Amino acid sequence: MRGLLSSPVCLTVIWFLSWSLGPSCAQIWNGEVSGLQYGRLGSNITLACGKSHNSRMSVMWLHNQRKELPWHKVTSDGKLVLLEANQSAQGNYSCHSDRGSHLHSISLMLGHPPAQLNVLCQMPNHSYVHCSWVESVNTFLPAKYNASFRGSHETWKPCVVDVSQKHCEVILPAFWQVYHMLAVTQTNALGSHTTYDRIKLDKLLKPDPPRFLKVEQLEGFPRRLNVSWSYPSSWARLDAYPLHFQISYRPLGSIYWSETFISETSVVLYDILEGHVHEVQVRAQDLVNSDSQWSEWTNLTIAGPWEAEPEEAEVTWTYDTDASYTDSESTSTKSHNVDSEDDGDLGLMILLICFSVFIFTTVLSLFLVMWMRRRRRKHNAKQEPSSVVKMKSMPI
């Protein structure tokens, strides 16, 4: 018997019976609602006890099957008027005859009519616009949206709203019309409202960040890194609309970024601090349209340059060639890297030179002073006898 009960066929039959019998059992009222009514928060809401109800009969109202009702009055014809209803007045209302039999029930939902939406559009390439919106005032009610899009002097085209009802997208045949208008209509049980948003496509254009950022050391070159990346996947028309890229890098822990701009998808950095791990990031912008926005940065990628084995004699050789390359080839690289070690060495040297110059001048001036004193003393010694002679020769 146990085996029989748990057999799949039997379980299916039981499930089917319970499913098909369920609703008919519930016909004796147990909270089922026959009507849905919407109302504005803060307003007076009138609930009628159905059309069939004899208006001379007195009725009793229940809220969520309880006798406590929100602030209300009952009209002479048995209608319930909820006064300045707030959120707590929502729920299921039922009216019953004085003999207790169920007459009618209503589910009440309260909210606000649609108002202005906050619309945000994005454009990851020249032929695609994606817009999303949020309510500026919570309406609390389910809503539907439809949206349209048009260039100046064009006819409205639909902006296709997705199932979530929170976004729409337009595929543009061309970018030629710079100014566009987006209209989004929100409709709920209490009304509808259309929000208009003026869009300037050349300012809106913002590529997605580059992909597959790779930072690799170059063997034999302790001051170089090879950085490479790919176009974002949403930027398919590489030849028609090239991107240019900003590469930003620094030794780990430094607060100063160095940067370089390039329209290829890889670059060798020549001014890498020897023996230091660096962090590198890249972002993209439409090459032609300087009004357009930079993409977000890629995530930081961390890598260190190639390092020589300490005992190898080759080290100095590679360093030298590398240094000469640095001078000739990294001219396009704008660097404001201040706290590097090279600069530290330079600072020390300048300090030493200053110090020796200081010592030298001090010693020199000391000698000078001493020499001058001696000269003056000699001079004084010579002058003294003559003054004595003068005094002697003066008439008294």
Ligand X SMILES: *[C@@H]1O[C@H](CO)[C@@H](O)[C@H](O)[C@H]1NC(C)=O
Q: Which residues bind ligand X (CB under 6 A)?
A: 31-33, 43-44, 64, 70-71, 83-84, 86, 88, 91-92, 107, 124-125, 127-128, 146-148, 183-185, 194, 209, 218, 226, 228, 234-237, 266, 268, 298-299
70 vs 275, which CB is nearer to ligand X?
70
Phi, psi of 304 (to 5 degrees): -115, 155
25 vs 396, which CB is nearer to ligand X?
25
212 vs 358, which CB is nearer to ligand X?
212
Mark out the alpha helices in the chain (DSSP H runs). Answer: 2-6, 8-25, 201-204, 314-329, 341-393
The least CB distance from residue 135 to ligand X, in Å, is 16
Rounded CA separation 94/106 (Å): 6
CB crowding 307-343: b at 16 or more within 10 Å, else e: ebeeeeeeeeebeeebeeebeeebeebebebeebeee
Rounded CA separation 26/102 (Å): 13
Rounded CA separation 287/244 (Å): 5
Amino acid, res. 44: N
**Which single residue is written with the structure tokens 């200053």?**
354
Rounded CA separation 211/245 (Å): 12
11 vs 36, which CB is nearer to ligand X?
36
Amino acid, res. 153: H
59 vs 213, which CB is nearer to ligand X?
213
252 vs 368, which CB is nearer to ligand X?
252
The least CB distance from residue 348 to ligand X, in Å, is 33
The least CB distance from residue 232 to ligand X, in Å, is 8
Q: What is the dihedral of CA 257, 260, 266, 270, to 10 degrees?
A: -80
**Which single residue is written with the structure tokens 């962090």?**
279
The least CB distance from residue 113 to ligand X, in Å, is 15
The least CB distance from residue 319 to ligand X, in Å, is 18
Cα angle 148, 198, 241 (rounded to 5 degrees) comes to 85
What is the number of other CB atoms lying within 10 angstroms of the CB of residue 203?
A: 13
The least CB distance from residue 363 to ligand X, in Å, is 54
In three-state secondary structure terms, 12 is helix
The least CB distance from residue 277 to ligand X, in Å, is 18
The least CB distance from residue 267 to ligand X, in Å, is 8
Rounded CA separation 207/241 (Å): 11
97 vs 185, which CB is nearer to ligand X?
185
236 vs 372, which CB is nearer to ligand X?
236
